[in-house]
Every structure is written in C-alpha cells, then in structure tokens.
Amino acid sequence: MMSDNNLTERPCMKFIKGATSAKVYGVDDGDLLGLSQSRNNFFQVDVLNPTDTNLVFVAGVAEHKSTQMFEMRFQWHQIVLVLDGVMTIQDMDTGDIYRASSNDLFYWPPGANMKMGGEFRAYFVRTPSMWRWLKTPEGKKSRLSLLRIDNEILYPASPPLEVRQELIDEGKKLPRYKYKLIKYVKNALNATTVEVDNLTEMPQDRWKQVDLINPSDTGTAIVCGIAEHPTKTINPVVSYFWYHQTALIIDGEMIIEDLETGGVYKGQKGDMFYWPPGHRHHIGGKFKAFYVKTP
C-alpha cells in the first residue's frame, strides 16, 4: 500500500511483515542501473524506502528471471543474500567466478565491476540510496537516479599541466592492481556464532553473534552478520540505536516493544525490522536474525 511521505517527521522504526515474499515489479528503465541487456528479466521492490532512512539505507527484494549475463559497475556499498535459485557473478577485474545459491552472501563496494546473471531471488541492503522510484503515466515503475540528474550543477575538475603520451604508454604495459573487491560467504546463514561477553549492554541474556562482513571489509561503511537470542523473555534493558540497522528474521520469533510509540511487534521468519539512530526499544524472544547496519 502506498502512502504520502511527511518529510518533516524524523525517521522511525519500520516493520515489514513477509518482507522476503514481497511482490516485485519489472524494471522499465534498466539503462539507469546498467540493465539494458537484461531489463525485461529484472524485477525489484524496495521494502525499506529512501525516505524511511533519510536516503541512508535501502533494503528490498530483487529477482532475475534469465541466465543472461549483464554488466554492472557499483558506486555504492551493497549486501546481497541469495534467497532462491542460482546467482552467477564474474569479477571483471580478477576473472573470479562465483555461483551462489540459497543462504550465500555477497558484499560489493563502490568500484566493483562485474557481470551478473542466473535465475535467482535475493534480499539486498545498500547504502547510500541511489534511486527514487516514480510512477509513469503508463503505470510502470520508473526511477530517478541521484547519480544522473539532468542539468545538475557540478563543479569541474582542474586540468593537468600537460598530458604526456609516454606516461599513457607506460601505464598500458603495467598490470592492473588485482585486489578483490567482492567478498563471498558460502552458506552464510549457518555461520557459527559466538557468545557476546559485553554484559554492560546485555546483562540479562547470553547473546550469540558473528560479523560476516566486517568493518575492515567495507572501510567501516557497512557491517552484517548473524545474531541469536537464546530465550523467549523480554530484556528490560533499553536498546538505544545510534546507527541505522535492519534485521531479517531467519528463525524463531523476535519481540520488539517500541518505547517511542508503545507498539508491540512479533517478527517471524521472512519478516524485517528497521531501526534508525535515536530509536529506543525492548527486545526479546528466541530468534536468529540476519542484521545489516551502518556505519
């Protein structure tokens, strides 16, 4: 259901029931995303919208319905969890090829250059927000790219003192730096978690947690991992959020008591929570969740 956005209100918690089962829509302007070769086969929906997070965070579900490969160069940080099917990735800088299936995880930073294909459904989280979805007169979903705004005022770069052909020729003879930008984690949702011993933050419970994509992988831009809560009880300690975070429930039930609105939520497998900086709540329930947060 679509609603008007009131941009004067500060971001608040968002709960999406059945997030991984959300209906996806055909992308009709694939050129903006680099999907011109596969635009009729790519479907997507944002369940966490740019206006929910002040353009910081976006999360959603994407489907590709063809084995045809298409090229992409990333200008943002993105986490992708494969839900179903097989996603094939070729790193154009190193030549590495990955074939990911259910529960496998990718991270791509700005600058990653790849080919993507396969018939798959995936859950994604990216930062920052790159596009805004719009309605067209034909009823299609179109997009405004925040990277390509018509008539945008851009300050030009200063030119070099001179251009030397011998430097260009020298550069062509040298190998390019083969640094792996892509991180791939096989069977990520079944990673072994470890007990958190910081009792100042969690004095009531013995949480278990593991970061799958570490701060050092992303330049502290984004982190994701698995968290497990061992009991059904509600922790009376207030959880304060100083960052943006999503939590996708992968097992059990997460209970949230929202101290901002008084709302009580129970999330099961496939449901998603989002909490903005400044949010306060109680958390409980016996659950396992896939979290992504920034910074």
> What are the φ/ψ torsions at residue 44 (nearest 5 degrees)?
-160, 155
Per-residue pLDDT of 18-30, as tens digits, reads: 999 999 988 765 5
Per-residue pLDDT of 122-172, as tens digits, reads: 999 999 988 888 877 766 677 788 887 888 898 999 999 999 999 999 988
pLDDT at residue number 56: 93
Per-residue pLDDT of 180-208, as tens digits, reads: 789 999 999 999 999 887 655 554 567 89
Q: Compute the average pLDDT of residues 238-244.
A: 88
Q: Which residues contact 49 (CB under 8 A, 6 or more apart)?
A: 5, 58
pTM of this structure? 0.87
Higher pLDDT, 72 or 3: 72
Q: Compute the average pLDDT of residues 231-241.
A: 82
Average pLDDT score over the chain = 86
Rounded Cα–Cα distance for residues 193 and 228 (Å): 8
Per-residue pLDDT of 98-131, as tens digits, reads: 999 999 999 999 989 899 999 999 999 999 988 8
Contact indicator for 126, 134 with CB cutoff of 8 Å: no
